[in-house]
Structure 1
Amino acid sequence: MTTAYRTPWPGPPTGQEDEPSPDAADGDGGWPERLAEAVSAADAPDTVFALSRLGRRTIVTGGTGASPGRPRDRLRYEIGSATKAFTGLLLAHLVDSGRLTGGEPAAALLGTRRPPGRTPVTLAHLVTHTAGLPALPAGFYPRALPAWRTNPYGRYPDARVVDAFLRHRPRHRPGTRWCYSNFGVAVLGHALGAATGTDWQDLLADRLLAPLDLHDTAPAARDDGLDAVGHRKDGTGTLPAFDAGGFRAAGALRATPHDLLTFLEAHLDPARCPPLTGALRAVRTPVLRRGFGHRHVHTVAWFRHPTDGGPLYFHCGATLGQQAFLGFRPDTGTGLAAVCTRRYRSNDPFLTTAYALLAEEP
């Protein structure tokens, strides 16, 4: 069963660098039907596809499971690695406000000087996945295996993440190779905390969540009955709430689809949040190109792909039992947040469907 509705976005977009196309502002563009098809294709116990386009929101919910007892769009979902878009924006804000430069050596912030002759790993290296770090610390797997199907990250706390980083010797000079790393962004979170004297989650709440009015976004499950419950790949068998352990900055956030749309709408119209305007504009800027013909483009917070009308920005995330897709297109004035309570599986239609909807030309 699916539920669809549309809500207004307060005020028209202003101050955008890329003017959206005036395609279907006076109609629904068929979005309720298309989003309903996407919800069905996801084949998950709980699914929400939420779209903001040219100042109007369309939200469709549904699922194969029993009703969670509350509207699905009002639940908080684990967004996994899409948390990195928030951490990247946080760093951009600290740089924009003059608090940091991005060139600070992470080890120095965390209390250790680098050995003579070694190129230091900077905050910029960590956020762009060019620090020479693996996806996870070498010692992660032995500790995680006993809880591999329930909560592997929870067995690797803050101190172990920091210690593993300070002991690690990169195989490649920082800044020379790209390797997607939960480890690196986790270290970035701890380094930002050390640099500001404020823990990452408190820093995030103060500098991002409050200015953006994201009141239903949190770095951990809450005991209020509003957290969505994850399921295994086949959509059966519930899983415990995800515990990110010392990797919070890389994957801990939970958020409602409404908050995720608000987050994306701020990226579409940076001027609507003056404290973060500079940072919201900065995270659109390419900082890294890689691959054959430099086809893969990254900002400090997003993957950036070309379309005929302009760039598309996105980030995906998954925990043991939930998935998320976040993306926006300034040229069409579109933001899309999609969440579901089922673990990623091979040939999964959830992410490909979400991406295709955002990439669709007007």
Structure 2
Amino acid sequence: MAAHRVARRHPHPRIALVGIVAAVATMTGCYSGQPVDQLLTGDEELLAVLREQYPQARDRVALAVIDGAGERTAFVSADASTGFGLGSATRALTGLLLADAVERGEVSLEDPVGAYLDLGDAPAGALSLGDLATHHSGLPQSPLGPGAYEPDVAADAGPVDRGGIDALLARVAVLDLVPELEYNPSDFDAALIGQSLAAATGVRFADLLAERVLAPAGMEHAVVVESGDLVPDGLAQGHDRRGERAAARGTGAYAPAVGVTVTIDDGVALARAVLEGPFAHSAALEPIARTRWPQVEIGYFWEQLTSDGGDVVYVVGSAEGFTGAVLADQRAGRAAVLLSNGEEAWPWSRLRPLLQLLGE
């Protein structure tokens, strides 16, 4: 697969955590003594949240809260240059890209995915782009089952690549749909949409995303890691759901679902683009379908939580050893961004403290 990078490589040296306790006093923020090799810096209120939520020595986390023109940040064993995978929250970017393509008349939500991708007579070929974008496809939860990718490799074996478009289509072609699931988040959904958009426009997904979403949002350090040689310098070591180190991978044809890495500045740029920037009126943010929760509806991968305090649009997801979340309350002009180097079995659990921060 051809290499692609959204922005130039910017070396981000890893922070050496052992033996720097004496230097902590020179940094903004404070040092947490438990565990002894964990370094916390930034806004005290945000650090209180991080201390409770991320107590492990392996944790590396970046948190930002935006309020109007101001913003606050806090870090666990990280800083503004540290890279994180967005995990399956990458689909938020693919949703914005889909909305743009619909507005341009390049695709329609009613179009079957089989009109763009060669799925033969597979059941998935009849799914509409709207089915996929709202997680109503009936496809399995995740492509991480046996045979989905190449065999597992050790975390220190160096970056490897996932399968390309042919492997993705071969995998999807043998899957049975489960309509009874109704709303069911699946990485296949965003992967198929991203590759459909590439086929419809004749432009590679990574290039299309860079031109139409990453650049307008100002996500200068975002990288579409389609191949292992694009794993950025300064990327935090990811950890799987068992807490073990996860190998860095090129995400191949699954890049529209799980393949973008960012810094906290990129996350803030995305949140501001949704709050008041070029994507504030994107159709991706407008709910068009229900989820399994009565207070939550979904647009193009972006969900909306309605409560007495107002509406918050958000996306949260875990994959490839990372968890990412972006929440925005457009009416209040507030947003929160969370990036961590741990893959969560239930990433939605991370939303509660972020919602509380937005409501304060």
Q: SS where residue 338 of structure 2 aligns?
A: strand
Deviates more, 1:186-195 or 1:41-50: 41-50
1:222-261 alignment runs, 5 A limit = 222=230, 225-231=233-239, 238-261=245-268
**Deviation at residue 146 of structure 1 after TM alignment:** 3.9
Question: Is the 2:316–2:326 contact (alpha carbons within 8 Å) kept by the matching residues of 1?
Answer: yes
1:276-291 alignment runs, 5 A limit = 276=279, 280-291=281-292
Instruction: Say whether 1:208 aligns with 2:222.
Output: no
**Deviation at residue 238 of structure 1 after TM alignment:** 4.2
For residues 55 and 307 of structure 1, do their structure 2 counterparts lie closer, same or farther at Cα, with a shift above 3 Å needed?
farther
**Deviation at residue 308 of structure 1 after TM alignment:** 2.0
Alpha-carbon separation, structure 2, partners of 1:195 and 1:343: 33
TM-score (norm 2): 0.76
**Structure 2, gaps ≥5 residues long:** 1-23, 31-41
Q: SS where residue 48 of structure 1 aligns?
A: strand
**Aligned counterpart, 1:8:** none
1:74-93 alignment runs, 5 A limit = 74-93=81-100
- Superposed CA deviations along residues 248-278 of structure 1, whole A, max 9, x for unmatched, are 1111110111111111111111xx33xx56x
Alpha-carbon separation, structure 2, partners of 1:4 and 1:96: 45
**Aligned counterpart, 1:58:** 72
Alpha-carbon separation, structure 2, partners of 1:204 and 1:213: 12
1:156-195 alignment runs, 5 A limit = 156-172=163-179, 177-195=182-200
For residues 212 and 347 of structure 1, do their structure 2 counterparts lie closer, same or farther at Cα, with a shift above 3 Å needed?
closer
Alpha-carbon separation, structure 2, partners of 1:103 and 1:347: 30
Letter in 1 for 2:356: A
**Aligned counterpart, 1:35:** 46
**Deviation at residue 186 of structure 1 after TM alignment:** 1.1
**Aligned counterpart, 1:310:** 310
For residues 100 and 324 of structure 1, do their structure 2 counterparts lie closer, same or farther at Cα, with a shift above 3 Å needed?
same
For residues 335 and 242 of structure 1, do their structure 2 counterparts lie closer, same or farther at Cα, with a shift above 3 Å needed?
farther
TM-score (norm 1): 0.76
Instruction: Say whether 1:47 aligns with 2:54.
Output: no
**Deviation at residue 169 of structure 1 after TM alignment:** 4.6
Question: Is the 1:193–1:200 contact (alpha carbons within 8 Å) kept by the matching residues of 2?
Answer: yes
**Deviation at residue 135 of structure 1 after TM alignment:** 2.0
Alpha-carbon separation, structure 1, partners of 2:150 and 2:209: 30
Letter in 2 for 1:281: S
Alpha-carbon separation, structure 1, partners of 2:133 and 2:74: 33
**Deviation at residue 299 of structure 1 after TM alignment:** 1.3
Q: SS where residue 324 of structure 1 aligns?
A: strand
Question: Is the 2:148–2:171 contact (alpha carbons within 8 Å) kept by the matching residues of 1?
Answer: no
Alpha-carbon separation, structure 1, partners of 2:117 and 2:331: 41
Alpha-carbon separation, structure 2, partners of 1:342 and 1:158: 27
- Superposed CA deviations along residues 89-111 of structure 1, whole A, max 9, x for unmatched, are 10001111222222211112114
Alpha-carbon separation, structure 1, partners of 2:275 and 2:124: 40
Deviates more, 1:340-349 or 1:295-304: 340-349
Alpha-carbon separation, structure 1, partners of 2:201 and 2:46: 42
Alpha-carbon separation, structure 2, partners of 1:214 and 1:346: 27
Question: Is the 1:309–1:331 contact (alpha carbons within 8 Å) kept by the matching residues of 2?
Answer: no
**Share of identical aligned residues, percent?**
23
Letter in 2 for 1:285: E
Question: Is the 2:271–2:327 contact (alpha carbons within 8 Å) kept by the matching residues of 1?
Answer: yes
**Aligned counterpart, 1:342:** 342
Question: Is the 2:295–2:306 contact (alpha carbons within 8 Å) kept by the matching residues of 1?
Answer: no
For residues 183 and 55 of structure 1, do their structure 2 counterparts lie closer, same or farther at Cα, with a shift above 3 Å needed?
same
1:269-280 alignment runs, 5 A limit = 269=276, 272-273=277-278, 276=279, 280=281
- Superposed CA deviations along residues 322-347 of structure 1, whole A, max 9, x for unmatched, are 22221111122111111122333679
For residues 148 and 348 of structure 1, do their structure 2 counterparts lie closer, same or farther at Cα, with a shift above 3 Å needed?
farther
**Deviation at residue 187 of structure 1 after TM alignment:** 1.2
The alignment of Structure 1 onto Structure 2 pairs a total of residues equal to: 316
**Deviation at residue 350 of structure 1 after TM alignment:** 4.7
